[in-house]
Chain A
Amino acid sequence: MTEADMVESLIYTKPGSLTHVGTHYCPGCTHGVAHRLVAETLDEMGVREQTIGVAPVGCSVFAYNYFNVDFAEAAHGRAPAMATGLKRLVPGSIVFTYQGDGDLASIGAAEILHAAGRGENITVIFINNAIYGMTGGQMAPTTLPGQKTTSSPLGRDVETQGFPFKMCEILAQMDGSAYVVRRSLHDVANIRKAKKALRTAFEVQRAGLGFSMVELLSNCPTNWGIAPAAALTWIEEHMIPAFPLGDYKVHPAAAAIDKAR
């Protein structure tokens, strides 16, 4: 093949479901990666125009600025309830919530449990970085034992401050859950697996199989006090042992969707 037969082709650029707005997230924060994966998924499924997102309270409170889809801003923890109201009143819509560990597992613990319990046909993207980012680094329900945060300055003491919440393990128990999996964003191979899981989760919603959630182990370089690359390593070394990656609930029809693609 001669050079004349080759052309320079665009291989990768910003997905259409993301706006051109530069994000306010810290350098190296995996929120940006998660947003991109969701946007690519919506584009590949061709569902941008049917999608309604629900933003949490947390660093991603401004998520609605970054996605080219209809968006609602929920009160802290209440996104699954808001999503319930939206999904049931807009038939044919694709509804997702995007929540951090405080939003989903602390103040929103009842709402997420019951959304799963009801088998709400929504997709929850759970960004678990074991800390409260927006408010400056306090302890989260998913903070690890011994982990120092501004509200556990001596390290999380399980005697007085309890143990981390394993949300996939909990929500997989609900009969209404159709697809509950945990992935990680700490390296390229895992980011690619995360994207596949997001696609399956949204397909599960599209097929009306019930509640879907993808927990994404994420970083917080600023509040962990380490550089972005080191923060990704911290996920691998510390978070994965505490929050094992894997598929916690997979509806049989969901497995079939995966196979067919």
Chain B
Amino acid sequence: MAKGRIVVDDVLCKGCELCTTVCPKDVIHMAMDRLTPRGYHPAALVDPNGDCTGCAICAVICPDVAITVYRWVPAAKAAEPVRASV
């Protein structure tokens, strides 16, 4: 099972591809089969092998704050406030 997961907001993503260039696990790819409401091909998580670690490097580089990052953590750590900073 993947340690992490990202969700890319189609409304905000402008298809700049920067996230795809920095992902250390290469699990982000441009979805060439669909367009966002603004007419861009959005980025999306493509992680068949469960490689995403939730490192959030993609969120660091995303200029549109389009990426929400989740990570499986020990239950005790989940009680900590959301780390809204990378």
Contact = CB atoms under 8 A, between A and B. Distances in A.
The answer on A and B forming one complex is yes
Contacts of A44: 85
Nearest to B82: A10
Contacts of A85: none
Given A7-B72, A8-B71, A188 B17 contact: no
Nearest to A32: B63
A231 to B, nearest CB: 10
Interface in A178-206: 187-188, 191-192, 195
B86 to A, nearest CB: 6
B63 A25 contact: yes
Contact of A13 (B4, B72, B82): B82
B17 A28 contact: yes
Nearest to A23: B64
Contacts of A26: 14
A32 B62 contact: yes
Given A36-B65, A188-B60, A229-B21, A7 B78 contact: yes
Nearest to B56: A12
A214 interface: no
B64 A43 contact: no
B4 A11 contact: yes
Interface of A: 1, 3, 5-16, 18, 22-23, 25-33, 36, 40, 43-44, 187-188, 191-192, 195, 221, 227-229, 232
9 contacts: A11-B70, A12-B69, A14-B84, A22-B11, A25-B63, A36-B63, A36-B65, A43-B84, A229-B18
